[in-house]
A and B are shown apart, each in its own frame.
Chain A
Amino acid sequence: MSRLTLDSLKSLAESLRRERLEGGAQQHRAGIMLCGGTGCIAGGGVRIRDAFNAELKNKGLANEINVVLTGCNGFCAQGPVLTIQPDDTFYEKVTVGDVPAIVEEHFINNNPVERLMYKDPVSKQPIPFARDIPFFNHQILRALRNKGLIDPEKIEDYIAMDGYQAAAKALFEMTPDEIIAEVKRSGLRGRGGAGFPTGLKWEEAARVKAGLKYILCNGDEGDPGAFMDRSVMEGDPHVVLEGMIIGARAIGSHKGYIYVRAEYPLAVNHLQVALDQANEYGLLGTDILGTGFNLDIEIYQGAGAFVCGESTALMTSIEGKRGMPRTRPPQSVEQGLFGKPSVLNNVETFANVPLIILNGADWFRSLGTEKSTGTKVFALSGAVNNIGLIEVPMGTPLRHIILDIGGGIPKRRKFKAVQLGGPSGGCIPEQLLDTPVTFEDIVKTGAIMGSGGMVVMDDLNCMVSVAKFFLEFTADESCGKCTPCRIGTTVLYDLLKEITEGRGKEGDIELIGDLSKDIIASSLCGLGQSAPNPVLTTIQYFRDEFDAHIRQKWCPTGVCKELCTFYITPETCTGCGACSRVCPKKAISGEKKKPHRIAQELCIQCRSCYLACRFNSIKIGPRSMRDELAAQGIPEETAGATAAGKE
């Protein structure tokens, strides 16, 4: 690879583009774009790729059909997935065993494999083409534009997709001020959760007169349930580098770090390969494209602390010290990493930058709302049919995302809440499902947009437990520096634990609210300032659940085992025995076609019977019912009888 100039970059892009259209250098007639994201790799993606290579070779098709291990495709719960180009066929849940069938049926017999296609969740009909699958066609891809289309370990694939053209334009045709003006006008706001206007941040850093400045990329992605940045770093690492080059040019920096959490080894790997290849091509390092502009980027790995996603803690971590946030002033744009002016942006933020430069601020603003422009990538998970990554314009209503793109709630359960923003965010109930996803609208609900984690919850989720889960997380991840977060989160967690274990007291809710206010008001960094959010929003919207836990010692969803009693309503029980068959403790007894009964002393409150019953005959009552039911004794007709029958 020889170092590129502006002209050679353009002509290389041109020829690579042509090649792609013609099926690559070998002029393949088709391409198997196999998803190589972490999820699909865990599902056997590499073995599947090897199996394809072997099978195609066997069948003499290796010259005609190309196999590419791309980055994360986004439809993670259906993995391993693949798309076949150019016809856009989509196969899901592929196994090594399916490979011969795909090669034989799809490629040789021209007969797509129906059983591997995506099925509509309601009609159950197969949908062969990706463009017809709602999960895909409702999305508008900008940050994820190269998803499923390129090999992340090949810089040529990126260049063929107009890669580094934006960086070239920024370096050759624009001044730093012009770059900043364009990014400001685009309205791009930080995608990591804070939503700070990116152009403004760059403008403040550019204003500082200093020799050494740092451009930093936050790839820590600590929110549980968030994997958007992972997909970008794994699947399209060059877009991050290109965004950083433009940012570095804007602020006047020649040294950059990408802080990647160590739990993303594939991302670290692909980023390093990308860095090496970009350096070889002269797209990074000294004298980029012959402009005289230098930018050296290094990867720095995290060490397992959520708090190191906070900007000052991140910088302290790169300095080799214990990752604890620092007081401000001074702001990081004046004194950040190693005391030098620094700009830290999120992965997704950087991924949006090249398009803004290439297509302009107006184009960027054409999607989204006045205050929240562009698109946002969400990681949809939880009780929803289509689990994975989706990119939609800002302003899209939550309902559309969850019910249309997400495909609704599986197993005929009911939507209960959607959690946005991870441990810093909140739960949004059904009555607010029409809220458009923007910074300004979500915040009105009490939650925050966050980095994009969106966890859907159904009527089987206990909101008190959810609140407890997030507090357990933040209490564990608290760095320990400041009093309110270090001690306060633990106290809040202890309070919730008491409530879920049946020792909640009247006044606890008010206490939680009061303490939360003080923790928010006095914490040093965003972790503490937002840690009470989940519990505050769940109390706000699901107060009755909390009251039930405290006053009646009752968990209506049956999650808090100390607070529930599972019992069968004899009036509606048909005696089908479905419940007793699944009970792991053989606690349910009853004659065939006669009402069954759960023996409380054996029941471990696992909910298996509750999920198995088709007749709505298993109810979840408060703790007190256990003793009442036990005292009632066992009715004669069911004494000693089992489902096998005994007269």
Chain B
Amino acid sequence: MIELTIDNQKVAVEPGTSILEAALRHGIYIPNLCYDSRLKPYGGCRLCLVEVQGQRKLIASCATPVKAEMVVLTNTPKIAKVRKTLLELLLLHHPLDCPVCDKAGECKLQDLVFLYGASESRFSAVRRQETGLIDSPLIARTMSRCILCGKCVKLCHDYQGARAVNFIGRGFKTKVSPAFEETLDCEFCGQCVDACPVGALGSAAYRSRSRTWYEEEHATICPYCGCGCTTHLFIREGRITRARGKLGTGINNGDLCAKGRFGFDFIYGETRLTTPLIKKDGKHTPASWEEALTYIAKNLDTITQEHGPSAVGALGSPRCTMEDNYMLQRFMRQVIGSDNIDSIARFGHATAHMAIQQILGVGFHPIIWDAPQKADLILVLESDITSMLPVWGLNFIKAKNLGATLIVADALDTKLAKNSSQWLQIRPGSGEYLIKGMMKILIDEREPLRRQAAELPNFDAFVDSIEKFTPSFVSSLTGLPEQEITDLARVYADSGRRLLAITLGPSENKKGLNTLRSAANLVLLMGDDPATLQIPAELCNTLGMWAMGIRPLADGKDAYDMLYKGRLEALYIMGENPFVTFKNSELVELNLRGLEMLVVQDINYTDTARLADVILPACSWGEKAGTFMNATGDVQEMQRILPQTGGSLPDWQIFRDLARVMNNELCGIELEKIREDVGRLVTEFRQSAANPPAFYPVRDRPREAPDEDYPLILVTSDLLQHSGTLSVESRNLGSASSDAYLRVNPADAEKYNVSDDDFVRLSSRRGEVYVKARISSEVMEGMVFSPVHFPHVRIHSITHVAMYGEAPLDAVRVDPLD
């Protein structure tokens, strides 16, 4: 530790700490405008100047590391004078917008001028005018207020890796702007908005809606992806006005993505349910809770008596709390006596779990938040991590900036590909073959490795299974030159600490169980710690839901059986919209309609709810207390912040009420006991056992192959702004990205007569949809890309489910509409 004196106070900090950080950590405030703990020091605002004994000139404390025995003074008359002048200069051309500027009351410039500034200016100047309203979705830019602190530029460039804005012009005329002063078109993560110390950048949705002193601030956990970021909601009169990250809080340390920052308004969607509904004469009519619950109870009784408990199934929700999911499975197992419980994670996390516990012998495998920063070499396989788990994805960029080698193997030019050390553009779905090819090379070339691996079970069968994946064969499958494949294998094996990162969400189709198995085989082959393979749980409570036992534990049916094999009579769906989010939606629809009773418990009147016999309105995120377990396995608690919408109830409470109507003792359970049980299950979950590690010989499974009639491959995935079924209800997110679009490569566009922004017919062997096309060179020739969430397009009506662990890529054709 280095000891120094700041303002006569002795402090001690680690070497490398700046004087500014040392001061702030010990409660000594040094004014600053351009400092951000996430970024390298900029030294532009000059407000942090201090006097250091022995130095003739004033020193920028943000950029100077502490030295032993340093004596620092932060508030001498000399410094005060300079600060006054600097603030005077900043205010000189700054528009006097405080009365109409959203930042008033929380503006750093206001605060600093109040503390250190002069009450009058000695100079006269022309104040900057807003040169026309620069309209972009979500981010309101009033650049006349910009004080050129550079935080937004540096965040966007170095931290987010998006590089959407930069300085243009020089000197006094410098501006922060997108290239060529065009309208801002970026990810709209909004990191720049939170960082801006003045009112130059703000949330467009928040513009002129409120004043900071009217709002209450509440910290909670974001309900979108598996990161589990802490987000601070601002509430005015019972409504959320905006959400912000706060540096230093949460696993995200104040970072948020577009969804976390702007997507909170999904709870104000137009289709919010406010009362139970029962289908009478083909119409959903409002009913009371007693009526609805009695209806359900009666039908469940009849069905279980006629067909047995195994005719009843349930879908849990990775978007609901652990308490909600716990009560669902308690209800099913205790009250109904059925083990037919599953969720959409069957097509996501369950796949990861199967591969990891089967091969690496680990039962509980959360991701490690800062694993990327600890790695020397990172291989990202066909995964757009900065769209799936955006804030975790930032760590990959941080790792690269710290010197790690980041290799991205992907057909798409994702943001990580753009920020990588090397981008291997492989054909969609060929990641599995690339891994197999790497393993073959390593087994052939590295004798010690082979000998060590041979001691593990199934080694010989495993070697047989990858025999044919020679460099030349893999080259023909991936489209990469042989040398690049060999180099990759060698670089991978020769590096220090490795990280192999893959996402597998239910909406993705470039990978399957066999891809993950191959990845696990590689980790096993290298003798690496199982944590080398990081496959994050997708949503805010996927892992928590899994811990609560939302999966068949005995011989119950899984989601595939329930929704594709049509083996149920009754299905209880909590917080899920299979009609839109599950693949092959025609088949799903068929099986849903074939049920005797379909109950949908949700916050919105979804497309699935349209088919239901009974609809129960549930409280949304924010309207109920509860806990989530994020992808790192941390349990995080949320308080209830908002009043419930209409007559909705928390999901866990609904099950207790249903138990009462069905005369089951579950109705007596207290919330305390629920929390206790949840805690116990979490502990058990964290100690999950698994089989001892063993290789798994992955058999080559045929995939849906393109042919003359369906010559293109359809790749589906999430977007940064939209990931499932909540985001489409957010008007904020919709302003950034509201239309489903099909990305088509320029060469293909010409070949198949597709024009930008035109509607096309996209068909597979299962059906057709109509969707808007967008020509983009971010996709390879021979492939098209589409997000899957927008209900009005329903891409899933033409997709299919993987049967044998293969990647369920769909062969499609694209035709222009005449």
Contact = CB atoms under 8 A, between A and B. Distances in A.
A479 interface: yes
Interface in A473-515: 475-484, 486-491, 494-495, 511, 515
B92 interface: yes
B321 to A, nearest CB: 47
A495 B92 CA distance: 14
Given A482-B43, A483-B86, A511-B122, A327 B60 contact: yes
B171 interface: yes
B694 to A, nearest CB: 44
Contacts of B45: 482-483
Contacts of B173: 480
A518 B85 contact: yes
Interface stretch (A85-93, A274-282, A519-527, A587-595): A519-527
A482 B46 contact: yes
Nearest to A490: B172
B125 A476 contact: no
A377 B346 CA distance: 79
A522 B172 contact: no
Most buried by A among B58, B65, B85, B123: B85
Q: How large is the interface on A (under 10, 10 to 19, 20 to 34, 35 or more residues)?
A: 20 to 34
B171 A491 contact: no
Contacts of B62: 327
A468 to B, nearest CB: 16
Given A491-B123, A518-B82, A484 B89 contact: yes
B228 interface: no
A480 B49 contact: no
Interface string A339-377: 000000000000000000000000000000000000000
B85 A524 contact: no
Contacts of B81: 518
Contacts of B170: 305, 476-480
A335 to B, nearest CB: 11
A245 B89 CA distance: 46
B43 A524 contact: yes
Interface in B718-744: none
A329 interface: yes
B42 A483 contact: no
B63 interface: yes
B171 A480 contact: yes
B791 interface: no
A328 interface: yes
Contacts of B43: 326-327, 481-482, 524
Contact of B150 (A481, A488, A511): A481
Nearest to A491: B123
Interface in B75-105: 78, 81-82, 85-86, 89-90, 92-93
B82 A479 contact: no
Contacts of B92: 487, 491
Interface in B163-182: 166-167, 169-174
A524 B60 CA distance: 9
Nearest to B149: A483
B236 to A, nearest CB: 35
Nearest to B173: A480
A487 B63 CA distance: 22
A491 B85 CA distance: 12
A519 to B, nearest CB: 8
Interface string A450-482: 000000000000000000000000011111111
Interface string A311-341: 0000000000010001111000000000000
A372 to B, nearest CB: 21
A480 B169 contact: yes
B64 A329 contact: yes
A487 B46 contact: no
B86 A518 contact: yes
Interface string B93-133: 10000000000000000000000000000110100000000
A327 B41 contact: yes
B57 interface: yes
A478 B172 contact: yes
B166 to A, nearest CB: 7
Of the listed residues B57, B90, B172, the one surrounded by the most CB atoms of chain A closer than 10 A to its CB is B172
Given A486-B172, A511-B122, A524 B44 contact: yes
Top 7 A-B pairs ranked by shortest CB distance?
A480-B174, A327-B63, A327-B43, A478-B171, A518-B85, A487-B89, A490-B172
Given A482-B44, A487-B92, A489-B171, 4 more contacts: A322-B167, A477-B170, A494-B123, A522-B86
